[in-house]
Amino acid sequence: MLLAYFYNIFCMGKIFIIIFGALMTLALPGAYAQDKPEGYFNKESFLVKRSAFITTELGLTPKEVELFIPLLEELQQKKYEAGQKCRTLSKEVKQKKNPGDIDYLKTIDECLEVGIKEAELEKLYYEKFKKILSPEKLYKYREVEYRFAREFVKNSGKPDERGGGRGGDRR
């Protein structure tokens, strides 16, 4: 009887520690996030969430993750760099008191060029992706990427791990 009593206390203690640890794990990131200015974008957090979402939704194997995710991040970085001048020019036009037609046209032309560069990059990287993913996973990737972006924006950067979000449609 006494042994059962101590066993119960021991088990309750373990349960308490597990629950306490889980709560602290959930609470601490929120505490650190409070130090960030409003509108702060945490790129590392975004990449981790996107990788996890894509991995889960596509059902990637560990080998596919090892090969695909770094390549995907490389593509995204190149697309970001390609769009830098467009973003800079757009910002300048918005900040000018009276932008002229030349400013608008220069910005439009640059942004159209970015679209072309991004399409070329996607085509190049899709050839690389074909060597890693099955045609079905490659086909589904675009939808998954789009769904992640939608969920990320809709939920302020916190997409539901299942991909459904707050009752969003799952095609």
Domain boundaries, the chain: 42-154
Mean pLDDT rounded to a whole number for the chain: 77
Placement of tokens 């709560």 in the chain: 23
Banded pLDDT at 21 (limits 50, 70, 90): very low
Write the CB contacts of 88 (distance below 8 Å, at least 6 apart in sequence). Answer: none
Banded pLDDT at 43 (limits 50, 70, 90): confident
42-154: CATH topology is Four Helix Bundle (Hemerythrin (Met), subunit A) (1.20.120)
| φ, ψ (nearest 5 deg) of residue 167 | 75, 20
Placement of tokens 């939608």 in the chain: 150
Per-residue tokens: 154? 């809709």
What are the CA-CA distances from residue 24 to residues 17, 39, 44, 91 (Å)?
10, 24, 21, 41
Read off the pTM.
0.64
90 neighbors 107 (Cβ within 8 angstroms): yes
pLDDT in tens, 51-110: 999 999 999 999 999 999 999 999 999 999 999 999 999 999 999 989 999 999 999 999
